Amino acid sequence: MKLAYWMYAGPAHIGTLRVASSFKNVHAIMHAPLGDDYFNVMRSMLERERDFTPVTASIVDRHVLARGSQEKVVENITRKDQQEKPDLILLTPTCTSSILQEDLQNFVERATRTTNSDILLADVNHYRVNEFQAADRTLEQIIIFYLEKISKSSIKKTHQPSANILGIFTLGFHHQHDCREIYRLLKDLGIQINKIVPEGCSVLDLKKIPEAWFNIVPYREIGLMAAQYLEKNYDMPYIATTPMGLVETASWIRQIYKLISENIDANQTLPFKERFEKYIDQQTRFVSQAAWFSRSIDCQNLTGKKALVFGDGTHGAAMTKILAREMGINVCCAGTYCLNDGDWFREQVQGFCDQVLITEDHTQVGNMIAEIEPAAIFGTQMERHVGKRLDIPCGVISAPIHIQNFPLSYRPFLGYEGTNQIADLVYNSFTLGMEDHLLEIFGGHDVKTVITKNLSTDENLIWNSCAQKELQKIPGFVRNRIKRNTEKYARSKKITDITVEVMYAAKEALTG
């Protein structure tokens, strides 16, 4: 047993349901007790979805507990088949049903005889995998199911270079915007989009997946398993680099060039190459504003500022590299909660941060933030709240997220427009440079406010009245930090009365 208040990744069935409800005309039936269909609320609220979420529960109640589901699951499948006429019904086990150990596969087989829809049992172990791993597996499972129905000899590659995008999902962090941005990038490069999977894709179209020249997996958490399967069985190469940030986007485009150059005539290669390089250069220097921003004096003020990054593997690693490599910010700590991908993450951020934190425990992340006291945090909603308590600004870069992270306006994180969005996010998160200086010089605009927020639990430190007055003069947004630093210093020196002198000494000790 584990005492837990908060988790970064959801339970396995959430991943399965995200895959199912992203496809067009697929219905998921959860074998679950009343109340476990909370996924529907999240989809309807966070995504502001206009359609009914195609997920229903076959309720596990006291009777089911006593006698087994018997006909209930089969009836629910058959009923849904008639009501909605889906192409595929995905029977989804939950943590409750997995300990009941009912033979769900048997229900699937029985129901298949009487339905027009295809029926599949999601193959995930609730106690071993999380939301991301389950989604990854389910996507692979569905793709295999439909590809095994066709013969390999019937596959014809598209005439023009083309790609599939694997891993665009409902409830994904800025997925819709990212997808549009990738689409635009590929179009600029003269590459057709074959299929976007699973968002908006019909399962009946999955047989066309092998017609593409290669696969793109924008986020490594979900889609990699399917890409690896397609590489192994259909000889389709894939790109798992995330085009986030200028350097990575350029590298991503070059990888695409490499893949297509292997399949086009040698005499065509050169103009293609020139076109790609010219495109990267144009976009980097003139279309995207991020490269220019990094040279501008605004960004100069960010040089060496301390930041902490925490998120899923994809966003955590990409953000670390952007901050360190493209903006000159000092990433004191980079971390991820994707434990299963820890080695990959370490390797990615090596050389771009002072230390790596791989944990699922939010208190550990919180303590790290309190210890480092970075000037800005880039994390999930949890880190945003830690930031609020410690008065440190936070830009949200990864799930878990709230409704405000589903913006209506166009906000990709990937591609060249993504670099602009990220530059804005970073810039707005750090206290604005010039203002910072002016406030320091003139003592701030809110010198009259009293100190009320206090995280310090040390009650035996006494601030004398001069020191308190001095503290009031410090601008509001750094006041708490100064207060904490001074107290930290005082404690280390076993000083109980804090005077103005102690404050100065603390400042000197910290900066000198």
For residue 94, state whether it binds other proteins (rule: CB under 8 A).
yes
Q: In whole angstroms, what is the distance from residue 244 CA to residue 418 CA?
A: 7
Task: Write the interaction track for other proteins spanning residues 114-143; mark x where CB under 8 A is met and - where it is not.
Answer: ------------xxx-x-------------
Q: Which stretch binds other proteins (CB under 8 A): 61-69, 236-244, 418-426, 471-479?
A: 61-69
Record the tokens describing residue 253, joined without a space. Answer: 């485009």
Confirm or deny that 36 is annotated as ligand binding: yes
Q: Which residues contact 112 (CB under 8 A, 6 or more apart)?
A: 118, 119
Record the tokens describing residue 172, joined without a space. Answer: 């994904």
What pairs with residue 162 in β-bridges? 192
* Tokens 């690896």 sit on residue: 228
Of the residues 188, 298, 361, 391, only one is catalytic, namely 298
> What number of chain residues touch other proteins (CB under 8 A)?
53
Q: Helix, strand, or coil here: 121?
A: strand
Confirm or deny that 433 is annotated as ligand binding: yes
Nearest distance from residue 135's CB to other proteins, in Å? 14
Record the tokens describing residue 144, joined without a space. Answer: 């295999």
Q: In whole angstroms, what is the distance from residue 412 CA to residue 334 CA?
A: 22
For residue 193, state whether it binds other proteins (rule: CB under 8 A).
no
For residue 100, state whether it binds other proteins (rule: CB under 8 A).
yes
Chain positions 344 to 363 lying near other proteins, rule: CB under 8 A, are: none
Q: In whole angstroms, what is the distance from residue 210 CA to residue 257 CA?
A: 19
Q: In the 8-state DSSP scheme, what is residue 374?
A: -
The neighbour count for residue 40, using CB atoms within 10 Å, is 18
The neighbour count for residue 208, using CB atoms within 10 Å, is 17
Nearer to other proteins, 32 or 369 (CB): 32
Confirm or deny that 1 is annotated as ligand binding: no
Known catalytic membership, residue 343? no
Q: Which stretch binds other proteins (CB under 8 A): 20-28, 241-249, 260-268, 382-390?
A: 382-390
Nearest distance from residue 4's CB to other proteins, in Å? 5
For residue 38, state whether it binds other proteins (rule: CB under 8 A).
yes
Identify which of 82, 72, 3 has the alpha carbon closest to the alpha carbon of residue 33.
72
Nearest distance from residue 387's CB to other proteins, in Å? 11
For residue 33, state whether it binds other proteins (rule: CB under 8 A).
yes
- Say if residues 161 and 171 touch (Cβ distance below 8 Å): no
Q: So which residues are the catalytic ones?
A: 298
Residues in the site for other proteins, rule: CB under 8 A? 1-7, 10-11, 13-14, 32-38, 40-42, 44-45, 48-53, 56-62, 65, 76, 83, 94-96, 99-100, 126-128, 130, 382, 385, 388, 400, 402
